[in-house]
Chains A and B, each alone.
Chain A
């Protein structure tokens, strides 16, 4: 299994739809997990942290499944402005690596 793996997409989704991304990771000792968003020719920006209990921020819900070693991101009622690349990040902790996934491209269609 690759260290961090994401479906590269692109996901072409009509506005208003719900879209879900998954990301799998290989290091079972990983400590922290994040979803980042990167717009074209811009820097990555933190979207949300991911906790085992699941967490929600408006239309966005993130979930961590440690047993199966994957994290997920759900976007409800998608907007045109959600079009971007979504990067899964797995942090092994202070003595370990920070691994970014290759990203999943999302296009929201009007």
Chain B
């Protein structure tokens, strides 16, 4: 039973396309996140949602739009993909107080060609 699952696992697409990545968690957590890990392996938070409400929005191009239909789901839509968007995108979730850390999905490897 996967705790945090994201799809697809791999995504290869052309520049200029629009794509979405989906994430679901069955841990009962109230908070969900999107992280980006670039080619230098640097893991950086992009967005955080608490019970469908956006609470962290780091400096991310507005081509990236998260959507949380309910507290168990957080999707990421990316418009007009650019070469620099190639990275691994991780979804994660945690309890509200974050005292017990964050549980990550297995990642979506996005390659823009």
Contact = CB atoms under 8 A, between A and B. Distances in A.
A43 B90 contact: yes
A102 B40 CA distance: 9
Interface residues of A, number: 21
Interface stretch (A20-28, A61-69, A91-99): A91-99
B62 interface: no
B86 to A, nearest CB: 15
Interface residues of B, number: 25
A32 B101 CA distance: 8
A94 B90 contact: no
Nearest to B42: A102
29 contacts: A31-B98, A32-B101, A34-B101, A36-B101, A43-B90, A43-B105, A43-B107, A44-B43, A44-B90, A44-B104, A45-B104, A46-B102, A46-B103, A49-B101, A85-B41, A89-B101, A91-B98, A94-B96, A94-B97, A97-B45, A97-B56, A97-B58, A98-B48, A98-B98, A100-B35, A100-B42, A102-B40, A102-B42, A103-B41
3 tightest CB-CB pairs across the interface, nearest first? A43-B104, A100-B43, A46-B101
Interface of A: 31-32, 34, 36, 42-46, 49, 85, 87, 89, 91, 93-94, 97-98, 100, 102-103
